[in-house]
Amino acid sequence: MNEDAIVAKLRRQAPLIGDDCAIVPAPANQDLLFTTDFSIENVHFTSKSSALEIGYRAVARSLSDIAAMGGKPLYCLVSLAIAPWTDEHWITSFYRGINRLLRRHQTELAGGDISHARQLVCDVMICGSVGKGRALLRSGAKPGDIIYVSGPLGGWRHKPVIVPRLDIGRRLIGKATACMDISDGLALDLHRLCLASGVAAEIDSVPLLKRATVAQALHDGEDYELLFTAPPRRRVPGIPIGAITKGNPGTLRYRGAKLAPHGYDHLQHRH
């Protein structure tokens, strides 16, 4: 298939593709959210994953970022650099995985780019919206706030399918003081939230996925649950795991002992 043939095929699945840009209406009285996430062969996935899983997961990671801000996803761009081993069947399944999740969240595939590389590279951009000035940030946690997660943790070994927590994110608007998603492990991501808020944190207990260890939940990453904070006694849809404290910004303690903010660093792990 040449470029026009692939684009023609995608166009039938995504009616907005075809002109130089996708054109969509701007939502009224909203802030826009933009997020973009790479999915790269041998970095974010291996050839053991199916095309459908790779497409699904690529979109799920970006949707999780929208969820972390309390946003609603609207439009998606998918840029795909196919590898020498990629065939038409693979591409079809890949877009099936993408469309499955986008449809579930009423998000439109609006465009993208097609090219080729030695290893397969996909970049998924999602544009979402949130009420003006209402987005959940990482930077609002206060000493005394309770820390919550949206579900049990355990890292990528125990969490094969990402479920973007869009509903929970939207319910946290006006309630959570800070929020982010856990992509690189609870320890590293909570460290980032604390740095952004200028606070420290104390973890008492971590809800675990079946067969997962505490170390995996703290450091493995790719849980894609929401990590958020709220004042005590405020009703929020989460599992409490500890409290925000005063102290050196970014300092973490787990059951009284100092906790190193180790997690998954995408640049340090070169396959």
Q: Which of residues 196-215 bind its own copies (CB under 8 A)?
A: 196
Give the footprint of its own copies on residues 146-185 (CB under 8 A): 180-181
Q: How far is the CB of 222 from its own copies (least distance, A)?
A: 14
C-beta pairs of 168-171 under 8 Å, 24+ apart in sequence: 168/67, 168/226, 168/237, 168/238, 169/66, 169/67, 169/68, 169/69, 169/70, 169/71, 169/136, 169/226, 170/70, 170/71, 170/72, 171/236, 171/237
Residue of 97, 109, 100, 107 lying closest to 39 (CA atoms)? 97
Which CB sits closer to its own copies, 13 or 205?
13
Query: Which member of 14, 59, 66, 141 binds its own copies (CB under 8 A)?
Result: 66
Reported for 87-92, long-range contacts at CB under 8 A and 24+ positions apart, including other chains, are: 88/1, 89/51, 90/51, 91/6, 91/51, 92/51
Question: Which has the closest alpha carbon to 95: 56, 134, 44?
Answer: 56
113 makes contact with its own copies (CB under 8 A): yes
Note whether 225 binds its own copies by CB under 8 A.
Answer: no
Which residue from 98, 109, 123, 194 is in contact with its own copies, where contact means CB under 8 A?
123
Q: How many residues bind its own copies (CB under 8 A)?
A: 71
| Subset of residues 38 to 57 that bind its own copies, contact rule: CB under 8 A | 38, 40, 43-44
Q: Which of 58, 82, 168, 252 binds its own copies (CB under 8 A)?
A: 82
Interaction between residue 137 and its own copies (CB under 8 A): yes
68: contact with its own copies by CB under 8 A: yes
DSSP reduced 3-state for 92: helix
The single residue among 55, 97, 111, 154 that binds its own copies, judged by CB under 8 A, is 111
Task: Work out how close the CB of 27 gets to its own copies at its nearest, in angstroms, rounded to a whole number.
Answer: 5
